[in-house]
Amino acid sequence: MTTMRFPVLLDPYTRTGRFPPVERALTEPNGLLAIGGCLDPDWLLEAYRNGIFPWFSPGQPILWWSPDPRMVLFPDRLEVSRSLDKLVRRGV
């Protein structure tokens, strides 16, 4: 018998970013960790510091994700090709 796992429900009214450990993220769908909460700066900073990001649609609850593997970009180490740099500068 396998144990069913569910994402954690976050209370949007506590206004403190208390996320479960990313190890609790579901494998299917890959990385779903929590539902609910809010998008204020404290929540977002806490989430991003822990490798968690929100994804939602208007009128739907906020879904918090931490897929494995996940990609991390370090802006100071990012190397952009000359052709992409030209496109960005042209606003394409």
What gap in Å lies between CA 43 and CA 62, rounded to an integer? 12
pLDDT of residue 17: 61
14-51 residue pLDDT tens:
766 689 999 999 999 999 999 999 988 988 999 998 99
**pLDDT averaged over every residue in the chain:** 87
pLDDT of residue 34: 94
Nearest-5° angle of CA 6, CA 73, CA 66? Answer: 0
Give the torsion through C-alpha atoms of 44, 46, 49, 54, to 10 deg.
Answer: -40
Q: Look at residue 2 and tell me whether its pLDDT is greater than 90.
A: no
> Is residue 69 reached through a cis peptide bond, with omega within 30 degrees of 0 on the bond before it?
yes
CATH number, span 8-90: 3.30.70.3550
Question: Taking the domains of the chain in order of start, what are their residue ranges?
Answer: 8-90
Which tokens belong to 46? 């806490």
Run of H or E residues at 86 = helix 82-90
pLDDT of residue 5: 79
Q: Strand, helix or coil at 84?
A: helix
66-89 residue pLDDT tens:
998 877 778 899 899 999 999 999
